[in-house]
Amino acid sequence: MGIQERFEVIIVGGGIVGATTACALGHAGINVALMDIFNPKRQWEGGSVDLRVSALTKASQNILETLGVWDNIVQRGVCAYKDMRVWDAKADGELHFDCADTRFNELGHIVENRVTVASLWDKLETLPSVTCISDAKVLQIQTLGKKRRLMLEDGRSVDADLVVAADGRDSSLRSMVGIDVTGWPYHQDGLVATITTEKSHEFTAWQRFLDEGPLAFLPLRTGQCSIVWTLKTETAKEYLQLSDAEFLEKLESASAGILGRMLKTGARAAFPLRFQYANRYTDENFALMGDAAHAMHPLAGQGANAGLLDAAALAEVAIKAKQAGRPLSSTKFLRQYERWRKGDNLLMMSSMDVINKTFGATALPIVSLRSTGMNLVNNIPLVKSIFNDHAMGLRKDLPLLARQQCCW
């Protein structure tokens, strides 16, 4: 017979979104377990760079600062980007966002995913009401009265008033609960690598829209760039098989020489891209967040930021329920979370979908129209400021944590 444990909240998935949620709930003294099949690394070889990075917005930074995690992230290494330049390879359309046009010293920060996760887990270990379980594989989820029970591979059974799935785009818990998804494959892959370039990245995020999809150069603390290159799936597979020299030649041509010669590449990987959303975010004693709830095109780098807003919103309504003496599994608070986040996420996802399809079009009238639109936005300060604020996560109806306010 396995050992039974009981928590108020169990979060499955110890990545950025799940760990942020656990951290916020832990600050409020809620008895929470964070489960994952791995214990994330806290140290790594000097000079190495994670293949996966995120462009964290000011709103995301506010969340992590309020949780007491941001200083640790900065110590491990971040790169503030001060400019963003976007241009169309087929026309003269161009956008340029400069932090000088805002009240901040940067537009955002490029942070390796492993840095954010390690810093969050460091903080979690200091919170008495949080238990991190790093060897947990969930085999089954059951409903028992007003609680959920997780049956683990090692024989343990763990109960909670609320189970939160933050276990990624292919969420097993979402499937176990029976929540369906809507979406479609893009038949594109995001090819990622760390690149050494001849010219300085100038603390600028560069993005060029090409026939198969956008090519982004994201500045790193090492002086290198992390690339995210959207390609047709077959092209991505082909490029993974090229020698380093052949790949760098392709990359240099695609970049139009904006950063000079491509000197060196690290390991390459590619991941398939999908438009996907859960038809509902909640069930009885259950909630979805992050990629388990929504997966969007990475062209604007908003996936992690949307997930962090999910984390801040769910934590806020859960803490309010606790403070009001209501059960954390309250249908009212779960529906409040879903209403708060689902519409915002669908709007962001749909915007990315439209942009991707618009820039994938080759008909001359569409090419001309999109180029004209880019230049209009670039030359009208008020409109440009609205786009800039939205990209930085400076929007209305943000959770308290995203406004640098405690929710406990």
DSSP for 51-91, please give it.
Answer: S-EEEE-HHHHHHHHHTT-HHHHHHH--EEE-EEEEEETTS
Cα angle, residue 395 at apex, residues 392 and 399 outer, rounded to 5°: 105
103: which 2 tokens? 């009240």
Q: How many residues are recorded in the chain?
A: 408
C-alpha separations of 327 from 8, 121, 146, 230 in Å: 9, 27, 9, 44
Q: Tell me the pLDDT band of 356, cut-offs 50, 70 and 90.
A: confident
Q: Above 70 in pLDDT, residue 1?
A: no
| pLDDT digits 0-9 by tens, 109-161 | 999 999 999 999 999 999 999 999 998 899 999 999 889 999 999 999 999 99
Type of residue at 193 = A
Alpha carbon 397 to chain centroid, angstroms: 19
Mean of pLDDT over the chain: 94
- Residue 4: predicted pLDDT: 59
- With residues binned 3-state (H G I as helix, E B as strand, rest as coil), the percentages for the chain, rounded to 5, are 40, 30, 30
State the pTM of this model.
0.95
- Residue 136: predicted pLDDT: 87
| pLDDT digits 0-9 by tens, 276-302 | 999 999 999 999 999 999 999 998 788
Q: Above 60 in pLDDT, residue 341?
A: yes
In the chain, what are the domains? 4-79+106-183+274-403 (3.50.50.60)
Higher per-residue pLDDT: 225 or 354: 225
Question: What phi and psi, each to the nearest 5 degrees, are found at residue 333?
Answer: -75, -35
Question: Residue 297 contacts by C-beta under 8 Å, 6 or more apart in sequence?
Answer: 186, 230, 273, 275, 349, 352, 353, 355, 356
Q: Tell me the pLDDT band of 265, cut-offs 50, 70 and 90.
A: very high
- Residue 387: predicted pLDDT: 80
Closest CA to 200 of 251, 256, 260: 260
Question: What phi and psi, each to the nearest 5 degrees, are found at residue 183?
Answer: 165, -175
Q: What percent of the chain is predicted at pLDDT more than 70?
A: 99
Q: Above 80 in pLDDT, residue 3?
A: no
Closest CA to 11 of 169, 155, 138, 181: 138
180: which 2 tokens? 């369906």
Tell me the three state secondary structure of residue 152. Answer: strand
